[in-house]
Amino acid sequence: MDNLESRVSKVEKIAQDVPFLQADVAKMYQELEIRDQWVRANNIEIRGIPQKNNENLFEIAKSIGQICKYPIKKEEINYIARIPTRLPNREKSIIISFHNRYTKEENEKDLLKID
């Protein structure tokens, strides 16, 4: 009988900890979301560029920079990649992540001028 009471006591103690643990997990998710938003603030998403085999995304970024009259230097890019879309039969977007948010904002401003 003592064993059963001991086990019930342990379960009750764990049950008391659950709300605190849930609050901690919710706080961590919120902090993670804020960090994700902070990281994505350096990104530009470019849609509608057909994907080709053996494409060089740095060259594509350079060409886009020339079109918008704002040269995009390879050194300014943290990474560049194609990302899948949720819609079937749609080209994958290109994500350019810049080292610096201000570089991204300048590029974005000039890219928005392109028709």
31 and 47 together in one domain: no
29 and 78 together in one domain: no
50 and 77 together in one domain: yes
Span 37-82, pLDDT tens digits: 888 888 989 888 999 999 999 999 999 888 888 788 888 899 999 9
69 and 97 together in one domain: yes
Structural domain harbouring 2:
1-40
pLDDT (0 to 100) of residue 109 = 66
Q: Which of 61-65, 93-97, 110-114 has the highest mean pLDDT?
A: 93-97
69 and 93 together in one domain: yes
Number of domains in the chain: 2
35 and 47 together in one domain: no
Residues 6+ apart with CB under 8 A from 94: 45, 46, 47, 49, 57, 60, 61, 80, 81, 82, 83
